[in-house]
Amino acid sequence: MPYRDLRTFIEALDAAGQLKRVKTPVNPVLEITEIADRVSKSPAPEAASAAPATDPVHGTTGGHALLFEQVKGSDIPLAINLFGSYERMRMALGCESFEALADRVQKLIKPEPPTSLMEKMKMLPELAKIASYPPKQVKRGICQEIVHTDDADLTKLPILQCWPFDGGTDDQVMVGHPKTPASDSDWIGRYITLAGIYTNAPDGSEPNIGMYRIQVTGPKTALFHCHVHHDGARHQRMWAREGKDMPVAIAFGGESVLPYAATCPLPPAVSELLFAGFLNGGGIQLCPAKTVPINVPANAEIVIEGYVSATETAREGPFGDHTGFYSLADQFPTIRITAITHRENPIYPTTIVGLPPMEDYYMGKATERVFLPLLQTIIPDAIDYHLPRWGAFHNFVFVKIRKEYPYQARKVASAIWSAGQMMLSKFIIIVDEDVNVHDEQEVMFQVGANVDPRRDTFVVEGPLDILDHAAPFCGAGSKIGIDATRKIPGEGVVREWPEILKMSDDVKQMVDQRWSEYGLG
């Protein structure tokens, strides 16, 4: 089962040998990033579960989760890299394997109809469990053991400056001169990075959790960075059209499934809170915020409350992003802080992004596996897919299909470009069903062997990730599909297609049986 709150999860990581405590004082300006970056790229500790912890391509990485007990400028401990390995992601989600969780998703979205009275009776406990997934309202939570309103101060939190140019000028990024000074008292480059951002539509409907970066600009001010196609930005536009500031809550911690649920590319009609309840095996407890009309996770460590301006914007960024480059500055709405609540002796969770692999890679890999059944509901041709970590989530997608008709690969690529956040995919490579899409060498062998560039590639124009600095326009440019399947008649000029080399099964079986006779070990 997942864990009821952040510290219970941290205690479990500690008991499993997945956590290291840093007791010496450390600086939240750059120093913690350098430590966490080195650890996230180091070997992972031994996995406690029976499921493999090793990436089939890249080996075992992720290091340990880290708890910094003394952060300069704050009395609050800081936790980072909590989700930065396959094993820790499995622990957070309470599953033995991502595939087992994907099976649960499959049964939820496409259940087998009962064929007998006994099968109907067996379904009753499962239906009762489904009824428990919606959030549960409580009057007050541990997140409100201590309440700050007039004395609310963001600078009391151990918020990181992650990279040297964060919060500087675009010119400093382009010429390679960090902003100065980078000191404990400089808050221009400090960012909240691992919080659930809670928003609603103006009528109180459509409760949404996103995970967007928040740049802190002072004790009671911040900036709301949310990409235009995300629900949080859509809500802000709805409030602004009515001439009203949007209430927002920024929540840290809570049930161990919440950070993951906030990042999931769910279908528009599916609530993140409902999905979190599904992952949690029971509804997430919510309580009313103190100064804004929003329900917040009762078991959170810290909650920041405030209002996103309908009219006022300010310069946000640059920010060292998951692409491995700085995303440049732009105008984003300001936030006015009205309260900070927290439990007694809270822990502040955070993350860093940058050149992979980092913590976000493992959260993304969990999504890749868990959401395969959802992808297959809209693209049934897709047998499996893989997002290579060097593709930074959006740059590359490998898909395998069971090819049955001409130009099927083009149809599948077009379907992926219409599937939620996968519309941002820049390179899509389609291979046959006998190819292991998780073996990147094997995929690229198929590209080299099966692709005629003129016949088998197709370029389209469309939306791209706004962080893609190679695009000719912000958020728009070209993307390419590559059909690396065996070609069949009807797909242009196709010569006779050869068979790939493969030993006969009887010879392989004979050699298996005689292997010990050869003295080869």
So which residues are the catalytic ones?
Answer: 321
Task: Say if residues 321 and 162 touch (Cβ distance below 8 Å).
Answer: no
Query: How far, in Å, CA of 97 to CA of 99, rounded?
Result: 5
Euclidean distance between CA atoms 234 and 311, whole angstroms: 15
Handedness of CA 485, 488, 493, 498 (dihedral sign): positive
Q: Is the pLDDT of residue 6 over 50?
A: yes
Over residues 26-48, the pLDDT tens digits come to: 999 999 999 999 999 998 886 54
pLDDT at 50 over 50: no
Which architecture characterizes domain 130-349 according to CATH?
A: Roll (2.30)
Encoding tokens for residue 481? 């599909």
**Predicted pLDDT at 184:** 47
Q: How confident is the model at residue 54 (pLDDT cuts 50, 70, 90)?
A: very low
Task: Convert the pLDDT of each residue in 112-160 to its tens digit.
Answer: 555 555 554 444 455 445 566 889 999 999 999 999 999 999 999 999 9
* Spatial CA neighbour of 292 closest among 225, 245, 360, 361: 245
Q: Mean pLDDT score of the chain, rounded to an integer?
A: 88
pLDDT top residue among 418 and 173: 418
Structure confidence at residue 61 (pLDDT): 78
Q: Which residues pair with 460 in a beta bridge?
A: 479
Q: Which CATH superfamily is domain 379-483 in?
A: UbiD C-terminal domain-like (3.40.1670.10)
Give yes or no for a contact between 6 and 297, defined as CB atoms under 8 angstroms apart. Answer: no
Which range among 43-47, 213-217, 250-254, 451-455 shows the weakest confidence by mean pLDDT? 43-47
Indicate if the pLDDT at residue 5 is higher than 60.
yes
| Confidence (pLDDT) at 376 | 86
pLDDT tops 90 at residue 466: no
Enumerate residues 6+ apart whose C-beta is below 8 A from 370: 98, 101, 102, 105
What confidence score (pLDDT) does residue 46 get? 65
| DSSP annotation of 59 | B
Using an 8 Å Cβ cutoff, are 9 and 92 in contact? yes
| Amino acid, res. 451 | V
Q: How far is it, in rounded angstroms, from Cα 426 to Cα 417?
A: 9
pLDDT of residue 113: 53
pLDDT tens, residue by residue, 314-356: 999 999 988 888 988 899 999 999 999 999 999 999 999 998 8
- Say which amino acid occupies 382: A
160: DSSP letter: B
CA distance 47 to 361: 18
State the CB neighbour count (10 A cutoff) for residue 123.
15
E strands present in 413-486: 427-432, 457-463, 476-483
CB-count burial class (<10 Å; 0-12, 13-18, 19+) for 497: exposed
pLDDT for 475 equals 84
- pLDDT, position 393: 75
Given a cut of 70, is residue 111 above it in pLDDT?
Answer: no
In Å, what is the CA distance from 3 to each residue of 141, 144, 248, 256, 437? Answer: 16, 19, 25, 5, 33
Instruction: Give the count of alpha carbons within 13 A of 123, CB side only.
Output: 12
pLDDT at 182: 46
Q: What is the pTM of this model?
A: 0.85
Q: Give me the residue label for tokens 């300069």.
A: 72
More confident residue, 108 or 509: 509
Confidence of residue 76 (pLDDT cuts 50, 70, 90): very high
Judge whether residue 506 has pLDDT over 90.
yes
- Give the pLDDT mean for 274-284: 92
Average pLDDT for residues 416-424, to the nearest whole number?
84
| Per-residue pLDDT, 52 | 45
Domain boundaries, the chain: 6-115, 130-349, 379-483
**Strands 330-342 and 300-316, how do they pair?**
antiparallel
